Amino acid sequence: MAYNLLKGKRGIIFGALDENSIAWKTAERVHEEGGTFVLTNAPIAMRMGSIKQLAEKTNAQIIPADATNLEDLEKLVEESMEILGGKIDFVLHSIGMSINVRKGRAYTDQNYDWTHKGLDVSAMSFHRVMQTLHKKDAMNEWGSIVALTYMAAQRVFPDYNDMADNKAYLESVARSFGYFFGKDRKVRVNTISQSPTPTTAGKGVKGFDAFINYAEKMSPLGNATALECADYTVTLFSDLTKKVTLQNLFHDGGFSNVGVSQEVIEKFE
């Protein structure tokens, strides 16, 4: 169901890889709600995924950009404003990567070059994106910036590895930069802490299937899907959430506030 919530709004969506990704679903929903946008991803991810299909479906242009490269980001922001015909109203940061996870290195046995690279891609890139938007005065007043995170930033999930640290850093950047963006430009910055979701990135975590089943049993409403996350993101891009900023918003069917559920107790009885 569409409500025209984003009519006339312009944005940039980072990280759409394939139809399982939250950024992909968000792009589809933003399009349905009347928003226009530029799609962007790292050149390597663009070769792996099917972003061109999404661009055709949503009448969007694609600008490849490495979110760890300032020149790329400056070019992205400038070209986006040209293509879209004005300043930006919304941005989705949906980027995360851990080489340690991908290559099966334990948290207690990190390759620090990989750790550094993961931090750069997953978290520092968010600061870079916002700094570029801020310096170029590229955001409209009452604009909205959202990054995707996970509860491992607050609690221990052993196999989430160094991504947990990356997400903690990401959430801190959202608060700190969000303060300045709010004061200077009335732009709001939030993170959405999503349920475990079977995306390409999510499925890379060891024991993912067992974990997603556990989360489902722990959440009174069950796990939130990628499409439901897209719906929530649309509300944060809309004018209905003008005063919501500096928040880490749990979108997880209630998982984050449950100590133990009846189903989990029964499993161990």
Residue 248 lies in a domain: yes
Residue 2 lies in a domain: no
Q: Is residue 3 part of a domain?
A: no
Q: Is 239 inside a domain boundary?
A: yes
Q: Is-catalytic flag, 160?
A: yes
Which pLDDT does position 264 carry in this prediction? 95
In the annotated binding site, the residues are 15, 21-22, 95, 167
CA distance 254 to 85: 40
Question: Letter for the amino acid at 49?
Answer: G
Question: Could you read off the pLDDT of 16-71 as tens digits, one per residue?
Answer: 999 999 999 999 999 999 999 999 999 988 888 799 999 999 999 999 999 999 99
Query: CA 40, 149, 63: angle at the middle one, nearest 5?
Result: 5
Is 163 within the bounds of a domain? yes
Mean local confidence (pLDDT), 159-188:
98
Q: Is residue 31 part of a domain?
A: yes
Domain contains 4? no
pTM value is 0.97
The pLDDT assigned to 40 comes to 98
pLDDT of residue 46: 83
Residues 32, 60 contacting (CB under 8 angstroms): no
Average pLDDT on 169-176 reads 98
- pLDDT (0 to 100) of residue 200: 80
> Which of 3, 107, 112, 150 is flagged as catalytic?
150
Active-site pick, 160, 169, 179, 232: 160
In a domain, 1, yes or no: no
| pLDDT single digits (tens) 195-205 | 999 988 788 77
Answer yes or no: 112 catalytic.
Answer: no
Domain with 149 in it: 10-268
Q: Quick one: pLDDT at residue 110?
A: 98
- Can you give the CATH number for the domain in which 41 is found? 3.40.50.720
> Looking at the 3D structure of the chain, how many domains does it have?
1
Structure tokens at 61: 């242009």
- Interval 96-140: pLDDT, tens: 999 999 999 999 999 999 999 999 999 999 999 999 999 999 999
